[in-house]
Amino acid sequence: MLAAGAILLVGPPATIAYATWQENTVTQQWEATLPPDQHPPAPEAVLAAAPADASSSPSQGEVVFALKIPRLGYNEAVRQGVTSSVLSLGPGHYPTTVEPGQLGDVGIAAHNTYWLGFSAVRPGDQIVLETSRSDFTYVVTGSAIVAPDEIWVLYRPGGRRLTLTTCWPLWAGALAQERLAIFADLSQTQAGDQRRPAAPLTNS
């Protein structure tokens, strides 16, 4: 019984530590792919360019951009997909939501394990999505506690937006019955509609 208790106590922290190490490693690898002293084009120039061909859509598990919250010192790579295998290593991009900067919602999910400071995000905070093309800065406007089937949080009409989702309450882990959604708007917008079909919220 003592051995079992020790495993229960040591197992979760060890798993979190290993996953965090993997997440940090992938983030460093992503940063290494960006040219030193990079001067990316302005977001406006990227948005004015023709959208990428659908055939070039990223594959499951591929790093697609980095998510940074300067006030909290948060900087992690975001992979494509919201499957358990993707989210076990860090944040994932909902494939049915738009890419950074596009009209519509950029949806990002993460296990609450990796968002223990998630509730510290507050209105006015900047969230930067760093892509290989440019950096897109979103400003947090608010949050909501919702049921898992309230997929409207990922598909709000009008504007260029960002929605972060995770299980709620944060301490409940896999037992969490609700979702915390953080909403943000792109600081600068342009016209154009590039929406995609809806999909349910992931179980993070």
What pLDDT was estimated at residue 120?
85
pTM for this prediction: 0.71
What pLDDT was estimated at residue 98?
95
What pLDDT was estimated at residue 195?
38
Please name the fold of domain 2-48+58-186. Sortase; Chain: A; (2.40.260)
The residue whose two tokens read 């003592």 is: 2
CA distance 11 to 192: 48
**Cβ-based neighbour number of residue 136 at 10 Å:** 24
On the 0-12 / 13-18 / 19+ scale of CB atoms within 10 A, 199 is middle
What pLDDT was estimated at residue 169?
86
CA distance 172 to 166: 11
Residues of the chain with pLDDT under 70: 1-56, 113-117, 188-204
What pLDDT was estimated at residue 119?
74
CA distance 193 to 47: 11
For 97, half-sphere exposure in the C-beta direction (CA atoms, 13 angstrom radius) is 32
What pLDDT was estimated at residue 173?
73
What pLDDT was estimated at residue 37?
56
What pLDDT was estimated at residue 64?
95
H helices of 38-128, in order, are 43-48, 84-87
What pLDDT was estimated at residue 49?
46
Domain ranges of the chain: 2-48+58-186
pLDDT in tens, 95-122: 999 999 999 999 999 987 666 667 789 9
